[in-house]
C-alpha cells in the first residue's frame, strides 16, 4: 500500500467514525437522504457577512461573496439560496455564528423568508476550527468551517422565540442598561449637591422624587421658587400646608451664589439626566407590565416566593420556550450554572467552579431570585437548602449559587408543566 492509499484509507475511516453525513434536527423533506444537501456558511461581522455556498460536502457553489446587512444585501442572499435550490432540487440551509447583535437582523430576515437556519455557539465553532492542523484565520475559511459543521451533523435548529417574548427581552435588557446609569447619575448629583447646597437634602424626605428634582432645577436656573412652583411640581398629592412648609425650608437655605457657577451647571446637567432616566424607566416598566400580562410564563414565575414582577419578566424573557430544553440540566447549562469538571487519569480536581458559558443575564436574575428567596425565609425550601449547604462547609456565595441552580430546576418544571409553584 502506497502512502497516498494509506492516507485515503485513514481519511475514510475518520469520516465514518465521526459520523460525517448525519444531520441533526432538520426536517426530512428539506434535505437529501444522504445528508449531503446544499448549505450556505455565513461569517457574520458588523454591517456585512462573508458567505460560501455548497451543493454537497467539499463542493463549493461559486466563489466566496460578501453581502451588506441592507435590504439589497439580503435580497442577494435570497437570490443565491434560490439558485442553489434550483441547481440541487433541495432547499438549502444557512449556518451562521452568534456574534452579539450583528446577526439579529439577518436571522429575522431568514425567518421571514422561511429558510432553515442554524446559529452556532462561538465556543463550538472555535473548537471545530481547532481540529485542523493549519492555522488559517480568514472570513472565507470561517464560512467554510461553519458549512463543514453542518455536514458533520454537529448542529441543531435554532431555538424559536415568540414575538411577545422577544419584545419582552428587548424591554428587560434596556431596563437593565438604564438602571446602573441612573444610579451613577444619582451618586454624582448627591456629590455635587454636597458642594453646592448640602442643606437642601433636609427639605424633602426623598431627594430624588420628581417634586424635589424639579424644585432644585428651578433654584439652579436662578428662578425664584414660589408656593405655586412647588404645588405645580407636587400636583394634587399634597395640600397647602405641606407646600407652605417646604417653601419656608427652601427660603431658609443659604444662597446658591456662594458656590461656583461651574458646579451649579454640572449639577443642573446631572439633574436633567436623572429626571430623563426616571421617566424612561417608568415608561419601560409600564410597557413591561402590559406585555407581561399577556404571557402565562410570567404569571407562573410570579408564584415562586421571592420572584417579583421584574425578575419574573427577566426570567421568562431570557429562557424563552422552556420546552425546548429536554432536561433541567440543559437549562442549567444554558444559564452557565453547571459546575466545570476537571479530571485526568488519577487526578480529579477537589473543587470546581461554574462554567459561566451561558446567558449572564439569566444567571444574574437567578442569583438575585435565590437571594430574595433566602432572605428572611421567604422561600422555605430554598432557605432550608441554603442552610444545608452552609452546614456542609460551603461559603455563602457558593451556597447561593447552589440555590440558584436548584431554583432553575423548579423554574423548568413550572414552565414545562404549566403549573404554579408548590411549596
Side-chain half-sphere of 389: how many Cα atoms within 13 Å?
Answer: 20
> Does residue 407 lie within any of the structural domains?
yes
Cell digits of residue 139:
472570513
Where a domain ends, among 152, 181, 201? 152
Number of structural domains, the chain?
Answer: 3
Q: Give pLDDT tens digits for 17-33.
A: 333 232 333 333 344 43
Interatomic CA distance for residues 152 and 211, integer angstroms: 64
Question: Over the chain, what is the mean pLDDT?
Answer: 82
Examine the domain organization and report whether 276 and 209 are in the same domain: yes
Examine the domain organization and report whether 141 and 33 are in the same domain: yes
Examine the domain organization and report whether 88 and 148 are in the same domain: yes
Residue 40 pLDDT > 80: yes
Please give the radius of gyration of the chain, using alpha carbons only, rounded to the nearest integer: 29
3-state class (DSSP) for residue 393: coil
Examine the domain organization and report whether 109 and 226 are in the same domain: no
The confidence score (pLDDT) of residue 33 equals 38
Examine the domain organization and report whether 277 and 312 are in the same domain: no
Query: Is the model more confident about 236 or about 277?
Result: 277
> Does residue 57 lie within any of the structural domains?
yes
Interatomic CA distance for residues 89 and 86, integer angstroms: 5
- CATH number of the domain enclosing 252: 1.10.287.4070
The confidence score (pLDDT) of residue 148 equals 81
Examine the domain organization and report whether 262 and 239 are in the same domain: yes
Domain of residue 84, residue span: 16-152
> Does residue 75 lie within any of the structural domains?
yes
Residue 197 pLDDT > 70: yes
Residue with cell 467514525: 17
Where a domain ends, among 152, 178, 199? 152
Strands 39-45 and 93-97, by their bridges, are parallel
DSSP state of 305: T
Interatomic CA distance for residues 135 and 149, integer angstroms: 17
> Does residue 344 lie within any of the structural domains?
no
Examine the domain organization and report whether 312 and 278 are in the same domain: no
Examine the domain organization and report whether 226 and 285 are in the same domain: yes
Question: Are 26 and 157 within 8 A, CB to CB?
Answer: yes
Least confident of 8-22, 155-169, 271-285: 8-22
Least confident of 128-142, 291-305, 374-388: 128-142
Stretch 345-373: mean pLDDT: 80
Question: Are 263 and 198 within 8 A, CB to CB?
Answer: no
> Does residue 4 lie within any of the structural domains?
no
| Residues 355, 298, 101, 149, CA torsion sign | positive
Examine the domain organization and report whether 285 and 324 are in the same domain: no
> Does residue 265 lie within any of the structural domains?
yes
Q: Which percentage of the chain shows pLDDT scores above 70?
A: 82
3-state class (DSSP) for residue 274: helix
Examine the domain organization and report whether 187 and 314 are in the same domain: no
Examine the domain organization and report whether 227 and 309 are in the same domain: no
Q: Give pLDDT tens digits for 239-289.
A: 899 999 999 999 999 888 777 889 999 999 999 999 999 999 999 999 999
Where a domain ends, among 152, 182, 217? 152
Examine the domain organization and report whether 256 and 310 are in the same domain: no
> Does residue 346 lie within any of the structural domains?
no
> Does residue 10 lie within any of the structural domains?
no
Amino acid at each position: 500500500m502506497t502512502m497516498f492509499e494509506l492516507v485515503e484509507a485513514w481519511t475514510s475511516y475518520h469520516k465514518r467514525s465521526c459520523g460525517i453525513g448525519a444531520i441533526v434536527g432538520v426536517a426530512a423533506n428539506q434535505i437529501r437522504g444522504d445528508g449531503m444537501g446544499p448549505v450556505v456558511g455565513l461569517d457574520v461581522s458588523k454591517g456585512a457577512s462573508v458567505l460560501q455556498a455548497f451543493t454537497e460536502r467539499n463542493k463549493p457553489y461559486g466563489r466566496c461573496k460578501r453581502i451588506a446587512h441592507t435590504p439589497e444585501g439580503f435580497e442577494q442572499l435570497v437570490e443565491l439560496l434560490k439558485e442553489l435550490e434550483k441547481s440541487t432540487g433541495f432547499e438549502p440551509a444557512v449556518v451562521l455564528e452568534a456574534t452579539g447583535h450583528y446577526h439579529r437582523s439577518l436571522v429575522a430576515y431568514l425567518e421571514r423568508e422561511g429558510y432553515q437556519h442554524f446559529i452556532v455557539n462561538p465556543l463550538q465553532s472555535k473548537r471545530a476550527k481547532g481540529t485542523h492542523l493549519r492555522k488559517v484565520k480568514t472570513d472565507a475559511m470561517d464560512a467554510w468551517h461553519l458549512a463543514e459543521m453542518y455536514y458533520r451533523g454537529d448542529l441543531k435548529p435554532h431555538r424559536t422565540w415568540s414575538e411577545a417574548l422577544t419584545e419582552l427581552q428587548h424591554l428587560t435588557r434596556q431596563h437593565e442598561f438604564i438602571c446602573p446609569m441612573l444610579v451613577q447619575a444619582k451618586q454624582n448629583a448627591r456629590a455635587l449637591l454636597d458642594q453646592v447646597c448640602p442643606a437642601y437634602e433636609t427639605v424633602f424626605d426623598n431627594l430624588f422624587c420628581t417634586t424635589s428634582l424639579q424644585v432644585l432645577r428651578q433654584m439652579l436656573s436662578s428662578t425664584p421658587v414660589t408656593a405655586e412652583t412647588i404645588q405645580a411640581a407636587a400636583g394634587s398629592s399634597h395640600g397647602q400646608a405641606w407646600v407652605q412648609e417646604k417653601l419656608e425650608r427652601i427660603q431658609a437655605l443659604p444662597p446658591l451664589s456662594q458656590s461656583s457657577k461651574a458646579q451649579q451647571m454640572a449639577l443642573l446637567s446631572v439633574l436633567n439626566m436623572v429626571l430623563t432616566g426616571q421617566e424612561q424607566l417608568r415608561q419601560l416598566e409600564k410597557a413591561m407590565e402590559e406585555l407581561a400580562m399577556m404571557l402565562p410564563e410570567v404569571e407562573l414565575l410570579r408564584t415562586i416566593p421571592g420572584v417579583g414582577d421584574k425578575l419574573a419578566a427577566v426570567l421568562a424573557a431570557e429562557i424563552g420556550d422552556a420546552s425546548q430544553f429536554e432536561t433541567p440540566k440543559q437549562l442549567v447549562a444554558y444559564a452557565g450554572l453547571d459546575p466545570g469538571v476537571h479530571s485526568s487519569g488519577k487526578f480529579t480536581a477537589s473543587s470546581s467552579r461554574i462554567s459561566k458559558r451561558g446567558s449572564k443575564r439569566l444567571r444574574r436574575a437567578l442569583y438575585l431570585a435565590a437571594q430574595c428567596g433566602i432572605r428572611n425565609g421567604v422561600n422555605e425550601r430554598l432557605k432550608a437548602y441554603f442552610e444545608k449547604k452552609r452546614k456542609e462547609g460551603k461559603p455563602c456565595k457558593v451556597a447561593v449559587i447552589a440555590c440558584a441552580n436548584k431554583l432553575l430546576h423548579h423554574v423548568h418544571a413550572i414552565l414545562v408543566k404549566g403549573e404554579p409553584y408548590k411549596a
